[in-house]
Structure 1
Amino acid sequence: MTEGDIDDQVTHHDALINGVRLHYVTAGPKDGDLVVLLHGFPEFWYSWRNQIPALVEEGYRVAALDMRGYNESEKPQDVESYEIEQLVGDVVGFIDHLGEESAHVVSHDWGGAVAWALGIAQPEVIDKLVVMNAPHPAAFARNLDLDQLKRSWYVLFFQIPMLPEWLLTADDGQLVGDLFRDQAADPDAFSEDDVERYKEAFTKPGAATGAINYYRSYFRAIAEPMARSALPVVGQFFDPPGSEEIPVETLLLWGEQDEALGVDLSMGLDEWVPDIQVERYPAASHWVQCDAPEQVNADLIDFLAD
């Protein structure tokens, strides 16, 4: 799908939600079942360019958010603004802003982390949950072995002040572009126009700090309990933690060629998500919805319609 195709199919909006101005796009019939799309790092609403038309064709009302800190949304510069409770509050407020009490929530990467937390904290606002290449927090804690620590090196790197922002925005965001080009399993998953759009969004004033502050806030949230206990608490989102069970019908889609997250993170989740279906894509990367859009769309639509 070309850049012009998706731009012609969406309508842009801004709204004050949870105290922050958030940008989002909508498509599809106003009376369709609502599907909320939550992107990851370092993306924005455009990462769902292959899913939006497919969902609209099935009659869904689609709303894809620029999460706080990204693209056209407001970009608070303090780390505290990216605490998980604030991010969950954005989604709850977003669904309410759209006039609904609940919605299907489809997510990827950091959007998936927020969606998992939403399912733990306020499952009543989720009709069905879809997560792509984002680990359930308890599964991440369980699987934090040496291999996963090596894969997650960037979380520690992002704790350094200013240097990550400088590297990621240098040369008009060249390193951000490389993340999409070099890590995709399908060399045609991202066109040059796609990459330029990601680079432009990430290099907007304040965007790099906003995006990286997700990781800084997460690390702060786990640093104190880690100092108090020898137990593995890296997956902990709340202090004190609540139940990690998610009583929502859930679909996990996982690209097995993910360089940052091992495939083991997609296994053995029944303990925390009793009603879960898992689909793995051996030839797809972390960017699973871009590497395998037709298969992802088919699995997504089948799950939502079931």
Structure 2
Amino acid sequence: MPPARVTSFVHEGLTFDVEDSGPIDGEVVVLLHGFPQRSSSWRRVAPLLHAHGYRTVAPDQRGYSPGARPTRRRDYTVQHLAGDVRALLDALGTAGERVHLVGHDWGAVIGWGVAAAYPDRLRTFTAVSVPPTGAFVRGGLRGPQLLKSWYIGAFQLPRLPELLAGRKPEALERVLRSTGMTKEDVARFRTEILEHGAFPGAIGYYRALPLAARGSFSARVRVPTTLVWSDGDTAVDRAGVELASDYVDAPYELVVLQGVSHWVPEHAPEALAEAVLERVGSAA
């Protein structure tokens, strides 16, 4: 049967929204957004991939899609999040095929989990901003990563982040501006995350971190991989990035973007698309 567009899929009783665009018969590139964003974060990258004949599939992930917002923190472990991606691939009808995977921020964390758990479903993987969990933790012992990750501890507080988002959203917006987000980016955060009701689910990812399986810290990837990191990133230190190759048993490349903030898909779409195209092209 000819391929068909996928606008939603169901996993564990949850319904996920999907943006499926580009040449319908092109090789599939799955795009996983990060925190605190939705699939629209790829709006400047996807057309550049379409121009080269690739079909892009970008889900609004668990906690972000209105029909996929469980309330228990254990529902947001990487095991569940990676399972969502596998269910998306099943919905695409790619059970006998492999796709290219790209993930930014939390999308990268999930991508590392998918690449480790389901390597037979992927042709390539491009992680953006975030190294493997083990490298991230080890890097935290060598450099300023713990200080940069202060917000992870803040998000563990019950109810307080949600109250702050509801009563003083401008405080969260100031924090995002300090990371390099533009006024347009922050306005999108207000409408797509806060007003859309996605914030509680979005911080569920962080609250589930203490429940991470011990094996996730040493999981290895056997998929051709590129890590794209920017030296203006205020959330992820280079120390962990430099250790990423220790967790990849396949062709690997680190691409460092100069003078770019953490928000690579919006602020350096051409450079990111170039890195993705180079990686997916290597699998031809």
**What amino acid is the match of 2:272?**
V
Cα deviation for residue 31 of structure 1 reads 1.1
In the other structure, the counterpart of 2:101 is 105
Cα deviation for residue 168 of structure 1 reads 2.9
C-alpha distance in 1 between matches for 2:218 and 2:20: 33
The equivalent position to 2:159 in structure 1, one of 159, 162, 168, is 162
C-alpha distance in 1 between matches for 2:228 and 2:175: 20
In the other structure, the counterpart of 2:227 is 252
Q: Any idea what the Cα deviations from partners look like across 1:76-104, whole Å, max 9, x if unmatched?
A: 11112112111010000001101113311
C-alpha distance in 2 between matches for 1:195 and 1:239: 35
**Alignment of 1:202 onto 2:193:** yes
Cα deviation for residue 141 of structure 1 reads 2.0
| Structure 2 CA distance for partners of 1:218 and 1:284, relative to 1, 3 Å | same
Cα deviation for residue 176 of structure 1 reads 4.5
Cα deviation for residue 240 of structure 1 reads 4.9
Cα deviation for residue 112 of structure 1 reads 0.6
Q: Any idea what the Cα deviations from partners look like across 1:203-225, whole Å, max 9, x if unmatched?
A: 14642110111000112x2xxxx
SS at match of 1:256: strand
In the other structure, the counterpart of 2:272 is 296
The equivalent position to 2:132 in structure 1, one of 119, 127, 136, is 136
In the other structure, the counterpart of 1:213 is 204
Q: Where do 1:7-156 residues align within 5 Å?
A: 13-101=7-95, 102-145=98-141, 147-156=144-153
SS at match of 2:136: helix
**What amino acid is the match of 1:155?**
I
C-alpha distance in 2 between matches for 1:166 and 1:147: 29
C-alpha distance in 1 between matches for 2:15 and 2:128: 26
Cα deviation for residue 33 of structure 1 reads 0.5
**What amino acid is the match of 1:285?**
S
Q: Is the 8 A contact 2:77 2:205 kept in 1?
A: yes
C-alpha distance in 2 between matches for 1:179 and 1:24: 29
C-alpha distance in 2 between matches for 1:109 and 1:209: 17
**What amino acid is the match of 1:280?**
V
What's the TM-score, normalizing by structure 2? 0.89
Aligned-residue sequence identity (percent) comes to 32
| Structure 2 CA distance for partners of 1:240 and 1:138, relative to 1, 3 Å | closer
| Structure 2 CA distance for partners of 1:201 and 1:289, relative to 1, 3 Å | same
| Structure 2 CA distance for partners of 1:242 and 1:216, relative to 1, 3 Å | closer
SS at match of 2:247: coil
RMSD: 2.1
- Give the length in aligned residue pairs: 274
Cα deviation for residue 175 of structure 1 reads 4.0
SS at match of 1:284: strand
| Structure 2 CA distance for partners of 1:255 and 1:240, relative to 1, 3 Å | closer
Q: Is the 8 A contact 2:100 2:122 kept in 1?
A: yes
Structure 1 unaligned residues grouped into runs of 5+: 1-10, 222-236
C-alpha distance in 1 between matches for 2:231 and 2:150: 19
C-alpha distance in 2 between matches for 1:191 and 1:42: 15
Q: Is the 8 A contact 2:6 2:92 kept in 1?
A: no
What's the TM-score, normalizing by structure 1? 0.83
Cα deviation for residue 182 of structure 1 reads 3.2
C-alpha distance in 2 between matches for 1:305 and 1:114: 23
Q: Any idea what the Cα deviations from partners look like across 1:37-62, whole Å, max 9, x if unmatched?
A: 00110010011011110111111111
| Structure 2 CA distance for partners of 1:198 and 1:12, relative to 1, 3 Å | farther
Q: Where do 1:214-253 residues align within 5 Å?
A: 214-219=205-210, 221=211, 237-240=212-215, 244-253=219-228
Higher relative contact order (CA 8 A, sep 6+): 2
Q: Any idea what the Cα deviations from partners look like across 1:136-158, whole Å, max 9, x if unmatched?
A: 11101211226211111111111
SS at match of 1:270: helix
Q: Is the 8 A contact 1:176 1:198 kept in 2?
A: no
Q: Is the 8 A contact 1:70 1:201 kept in 2?
A: no
SS at match of 2:107: helix
